[in-house]
Amino acid sequence: MAGSSRLKTSLVAAALASLASVTANAQTTPAPAPAAAPAPAPEPDWTGTANIGLFSQYVFRGLTQTNEKPAVQGGFDVAHKSGFYAGTWASNISWISDAYPPGAPGPAPSASIEWDFYGGYKGSLPADFGYDLGVLYYWYPGSYPSGYVLPNTTELYAALTWKFLSLKYNYSVNNKTFGIPDSRGSSYLDLTASYDIVEKVNDVIGKVTIFGHVGHQWYKGNQGGFENSNYDYTDWKVGASTEIVGVTVGIYGTGTDADSAFYTNNYGKNIARNQFVAYVQKTF
């Protein structure tokens, strides 16, 4: 009986030792590695965006282009991941026919659209700086009397950016900058700031942005002794915008120090005076 008891005790001890060994191995065996996250989708070579907006008026460099009447505007852009881009943009206008002197002989010019085409290259620099180089063509299709100076204009531009700031210089390479004769070499310098003061308000209202701008337009050349520099002026703009259910809504004030004698149209309206613009815009 004593031998049998010892045998039973040994068998129980062996079983417990075996169980302890299995338990120890289970505790020291590493857990399976989690499944690897899927690789991010490769960056597309090309991207495209489009925009359309309704504006209470179209103001360009401080000058109303629609005699303070509403404007519909829109455009399309394509960009390559290397930095190259191209695009087009259009708006209704009236300033060309509005400026024709009342009672002048012959038919008045008629152009109701500004259609722009542009392309360039954007790149990055150290310390959050960037640059943008390109060419921009302003086309005003319409009917023009014989001898009328066409306003179609080509500008080269270069911009330096830093975070929310941008400094841009445009240089006219043709001799009829916005319809002014002998004006090759005219230029425009623009300093713009755009800052998001709120990233998101709630699920309905998105980011809130404030923006401001100051620019100066220079005109070169002369017309039979009349210096085109008489058309020079400084303009400014300040405003704010927000996103509401994916649509941008904004308002801004703008004005210039332009001489009203050179910027009053045939309706007697100074197109360079201080004014406000409200707009809604959607980007796709």
Q: What are the tens digits of pLDDT across the range 108-158?
A: 899 999 999 999 999 999 999 999 999 999 999 999 988 889 999 999 999
First-to-final CA distance of the chain: 92
Q: Given the structure tokens 């330096």, which residue do they identify? A: 160
Give, in degrees to the nearest 5, the angle at Cα 34 between 29 and 37.
160
Nearest alpha-carbon partner for 55 in 87, 88, 93, 98? 93
Strand partners, 239: 211, 252
Residue in the structure block whose two tokens are 């542009």: 118
Express each pLDDT in 46-57 by its tens digit: 999 999 999 999
Strand partners, 269: none
Q: What are residue 162's DSSP bridge partners? A: 129, 165
φ, ψ dihedrals at 197, nearest 5°: -85, -20
Torsion angles phi and psi, residue 30, rounded to 5: -65, 145
The answer to whether residues 183 and 156 touch, using CB atoms and an 8 Å cutoff, is: no
How is the chain split into domains, by residue range? 46-283
What is the C-alpha to C-alpha distance for residues 225 and 10, in angstroms, rounded to an integer? 123
* Domain covering 46-283: architecture: Beta Barrel (2.40)
Contact 76, 52 (CB under 8 A): no
* The pLDDT of residue 18: 47
Q: Which residues contact 199 (CB under 8 A, 6 or more apart)?
A: 207
Using alpha carbons, select from 62, 52, 55, 53 the residue that is nearest to residue 253.
Answer: 62
pLDDT for position 35: 61
Q: What residues form DSSP beta bridges with 119?
A: 86, 135
Alpha helices in the chain (DSSP H): 2-28, 95-98
**How far, in whole angstroms, is CA 14 from its chain's centroid?**
79
- Residue spans of the chain under pLDDT 70: 1-37, 39
Quote the pTM value: 0.84
